[in-house]
Amino acid sequence: MNKVFLIIQREYISRVRKKAFLVTVFLVPALVLAMYAVMYLIYKNTSDLNTARTVKVIDETGSFIQKFKDKKDIKFQNIKQPLAAARKDLKQHPDDLILYIPANYGAKDTVQVLSTKKPSMRVNIEIERQMNDIATNNNMIAKGIDTATLRNIQSDISINAKEVTDKGDKDSDITTLYYVGVAGAILIYLSLIIYGGQVMRGVAEEKSNRIIEVIVSSVKPFQLMLGKIIGVALVSLTQFILWIILSIAVSFIANKYFNAPQSPMLGFLSTMKTIPLGQIVGYFLFYFLSGFLLYSALFAAVGSAVDSETETQQFMFPITLPLLFTYLISVTFLAQNPDSSLAFWLSVIPFTAPVAMMVRMPFDPPGWQLAISMSMMVIGFIFTTWIAARIYRVGILMYGKKASFGELVKWFFYKE
């Protein structure tokens, strides 16, 4: 095992010392900070936010006069000019708009908003909303309905979800839990694709440079493969942890000094008190590491089978297809049906469990299903590593022969 630890140490240290690693670690928080700076500049300098648009209302019905309510960015003004004269005045007041309400305003496309500059979507939506509210009130009054009484009897119910436990009731914010689960599934999916690809490319590069021939003279192929996989896994875990810590720190700094609207990151953190964070993090680390080890073993086997990086593409898609399928179906079907038979089977099959179980986690899957899923992940990793190692031991020393799935099967059955 000492040789495996030495390989892990070499892989980890050599990768974290690279400029590319340091650049990517600090690039994500820098992009977050740049996002806040852009948001701040937009918030401070957008003329559409600081300058109110005047909407001149020409109401031929008389039922909308003095009923529009001014907003911060929209001012309503009733005028009695003919429409033709008002249209000419727009040339002298290009920021103004004309709201023309004809007598038959109920007919389709009869109400018009005229302007020399295209109004924003927000302005159009606000005008339409207020017109519908006013028209509805007018119709209720015409039918003899007391609108004041109707407003008084309208209810405003909000649900406070509680989870009943042996230790008492506690808050149960399923929305936050759902987003945490989906975020964990996305991180696992991306990490397996990105860092699993690094394992494959690293093996292929060492093989093409003939470095592998020197290395295998000192260590067994299985030890080399296992050390490389675990080393890259620790690098990816380090990078994710640093991203999370630095992004949170940048969010606090940006909100303090830019005085911009509260960030989604901080708003999300304020709701984290309602969820079992330690439990979620523990499950994430298990499925992240077990899934990474499982898929990286396959990536390493593929990397040992090819002579150049361009040949890896034909193998990469079939390997990652179960992950892609599970990711697409998890955020749609599984989120709506977390206790279905499909959800169960996707949670226990090792190739799909890392993504499927993270999405199901907010919905408290039964403990026995969780135990089966975690056991299958361990068994799946051991079995996959054994298969990959048998291919790896032959592939790393095989040159000039184009690899195919049929060829990989033959390598698996080669005797020591």
> 97-101 and 74-78 as β-strands: parallel, antiparallel, unpaired?
unpaired
Chain segment 48-93, per-residue pLDDT in tens: 445 678 888 888 888 888 889 888 778 898 888 888 888 888 878 8
Lowest-confidence pick of 198-202, 318-322, 369-373, 408-412 = 408-412
Asked if residue 260 belongs to a domain, the reply is yes
Is the pLDDT at 31 greater than 70? The verdict is yes
Q: Confidence class of residue 265 from pLDDT cuts 50, 70 and 90?
A: very low
The span from the CA of 11 to the CA of 14, in Å, is 5
Co-location of 32 and 58 in the same domain: no
Residue 153 lies in a domain: no
pLDDT in tens, 111-152: 888 888 777 778 888 888 888 888 888 888 888 887 777 777
Question: Which amino acid makes up residue 48?
Answer: D
Does some domain include residue 274?
yes
Q: Of 106, 127, 146, which one is at a domain's C-terminal end?
A: 146
| 336-379 confidence digits (pLDDT tens) | 788 888 889 999 999 889 888 888 887 778 889 999 999 999 99
Asked if the structure places residue 165 within a domain, the reply is: no
Provide the number of structural domains found in the chain: 2
For residues 108 and 210, membership in a common domain is answered with no
Residue 234 has pLDDT above 90, yes or no: no
Q: Are residues 90 and 213 in the same domain?
A: no
Same domain, 29 and 105: no
In a domain, 237, yes or no: yes
In the three-class reduction of DSSP (H, G, I as helix; E, B as strand; rest coil), residue 349 is classed as coil
Residues of the chain above pLDDT 90, percent: 3
Classify residue 305: in a domain, yes or no: yes
**Looking at the structure, do residues 370 and 253 belong to the same domain, yes or no?**
yes
Whether residues 124 and 255 fall in one domain:
no
* Confidence band, pLDDT 50/70/90 cuts, at residue 398: low
- The secondary structure element, H or E, covering residue 163 is strand 162-165
334 and 408 in a single domain? The answer is yes
In a domain, 364, yes or no: yes
Question: Both tokens of residue 125?
Answer: 């939506």
Q: Can you spell out the DSSP letters for 296-349?
A: HHHHHHHHHH-SSGGGGHHHHHHHHHHHHHHHHHIIIIIHH-TTSHHHHHHHHS
What pLDDT does residue 47 have?
A: 46
160, amino acid identity: N
Q: Are residues 83 and 137 in the same domain?
A: yes
End-of-domain residue from the set 127, 146, 165 = 146
Q: How confident is the model at residue 21 (pLDDT cuts 50, 70, 90)?
A: confident
Report the CATH number at residue 88: 3.40.190.10
Which residue bears the tokens 């299903």? 369
Helix, coil or strand: residue 22: helix
The residue with tokens 């509260």 is 262
252 and 306 belong to one structural domain: yes
**Mean pLDDT within 221-228:** 76
What tokens were used for 246?
């630095």
For β-strands 112-114 and 74-78, DSSP reports them as unpaired
- Decide if 351 contacts 322 (C-beta within 8 A): yes
Same-domain check for residues 84 and 188: no
Domain with 71 in it: 52-146
Tell whether 44 is covered by a domain.
no
51: DSSP letter: S
Q: Which candidate, 103, 302, 273, 76, places its Cα nearest to that of 180?
A: 273
Residues 335, 367, single domain; the answer is yes
- 195 and 303 co-located in one domain: yes
